[in-house]
Amino acid sequence: MATMADVARLAGVSVSTVSYALSGTRPISLSTRRRIEQAMTDLGYTPNAFARGLKSKRSRIIALLFPARPETSQRSALEYVLGASDQARRRGYHLMLWTHDVEAVDDLAQFAGQGLVDGALLMEVQPHDPRIQVLVDAGVPFAMIGHNADPEGLDFIDSDFGQIAGLAVHHLVGMGHRRMAFVGGPETGGPDGGRPEIREEETGAPETIGAVSGWVGTDGAADGSRVENAIQRAATSTGSEFVSVPAERSADGGREAFTRLMAKAPETTVIIVFNEHAVPGIMRAAKDLGRRIPEDLSMMSIDMPGHVAELTTPPLTTVGASAVEIGRGAVDLLLRRLDGDMAPARQLLFRGELNLRGSCAPVLNADHTPGETLT
């Protein structure tokens, strides 16, 4: 590989001149610039990333911290990753994928201390995420996809679950639904499922950028519980009944949850699911009980990629924000910090959209009295 010294020699200038020509940080005469450019093409010169990083303290590499076990990946995860990767490239950065155990904090500290990355993006942020303190201690700037319990002063981008819940519930109410159920992950399930108390602190100033809406507060809960709370609030505000049933992340988990749901609230007219892996089990259990979707029971899925939602029969109506766009937005948020912006933390909520497919239908007998059986 040609070095900068090679280029300088061939162009008949000093190394520093080549460097300045490359960075454009000081004026170079046209003829000199031409000779340098010619020499660079002739030699096929590419600056050495390590020498550059050693001197300038900037690597132009950002890390994507992805707490995944290869076997149990969420399906929209790829979209976050590709969105972030694509945007990083557009903005001249490399993206390092760092899959890890959320609890393996020592490894992270070491990684952060290497100075390899200029900043980090955190996926699947937990309410009390141990990674945050590690990054703060290491002085590595970061932005979160999702957020922790107390995100004050921290940059993040998240789905606007309040808006998304409103969108979902409004659509369903318009179809006559008044008895709604929510199936989330094992961490959900309301009081008997260990949901943390709702704290409605109105912190920070709302902001709206593009498809992004303002941040107004946190309830300190994990994703699933936040979605659950948002749906519950939206549902009860319309006078609808609401029940929540947790489910393991598997088809069997879905079956089981459906059984519990039928025991608890047999009159349910719509199930809103935030647990991709439980979907097949729920749909099969419903079928086994003779509940046709959507005629007898509507179903809606939150944050499910469109091509996945197409696979079920009927295809699932979904609601959610674009994972690709959130991935992109996270990169922009981080690079704003890396570019030295000292402004206060920016907390962005990304608006979702409703994608109508075939799994929601009007309630036929909207005002049937409790006690009747729908089947």
User: Binding marks (x or -) toward its own copies, 205..244, rule CB under 8 A?
Assistant: ----------------------------------------
CA nearest neighbour of 350 among 191, 184, 210: 210
Strands (DSSP E) along 13-122, which ranges?
61-66, 94-99, 119-122
Segment 72 to 131, residues that bind its own copies, using CB under 8 A: 73, 75, 77-79, 81-83, 85-86, 89, 94-100, 109-110, 113-116
Beta strands 212-214 and 347-350: pairing type?
antiparallel
Tokens of 115: 């100075």
Q: What is the C-alpha separation between 59 and 93, in angstroms, rounded?
A: 8
Residue 297 in contact with its own copies, rule: CB under 8 A: no
Q: From the list 9, 10, 24, 31, which residue makes contact with DNA (rule: CB under 7 A)?
A: 31
Contact 324, 185 (CB under 8 A): no
Q: How many residues touch DNA (CB under 7 A)?
A: 30
Return the one option of its own copies, DNA, none that residue 29 interacts with (CB less than 5 to 8 A, by type).
Answer: DNA
Minimum CB distance to its own copies smaller for 173 or for 331: 331
Q: Is 116 near DNA (CB under 7 A)?
A: no
Cβ–Cβ under 8 Å, residues 248 and 159: no
Task: For DNA, give the closer residue by CB, 33 or 284.
Answer: 33
Please report whether residue 196 would count as binding its own copies according to CB under 8 A.
no
Distance CA 52, CA 211 (A): 37
Cα angle value 276/330/98 (rounded, 5°): 70
Q: Where are the beta strands (DSSP E) in 254-352?
A: 270-273, 298-302, 317-320, 347-350
CA proximity to 306, closest of 294, 315, 293: 315
- Would you call 297 helix, strand, or coil by DSSP? coil
The yes or no reply on residue 61 touching its own copies (CB under 8 A) is yes
| By CB under 7 A, residue 73 contacts DNA | no
Binding site residues, its own copies, CB under 8 A:
1, 44-51, 53-54, 59, 61, 64, 66, 68, 70-71, 73, 75, 77-79, 81-83, 85-86, 89, 94-100, 109-110, 113-116, 139, 251, 276-277, 279-280, 283-284, 287, 307-308, 310-313, 315, 324, 327
Binding site residues, DNA, CB under 7 A:
1, 3-5, 12-17, 19-20, 22-23, 25-29, 31-33, 45, 47-48, 51-52, 54-56
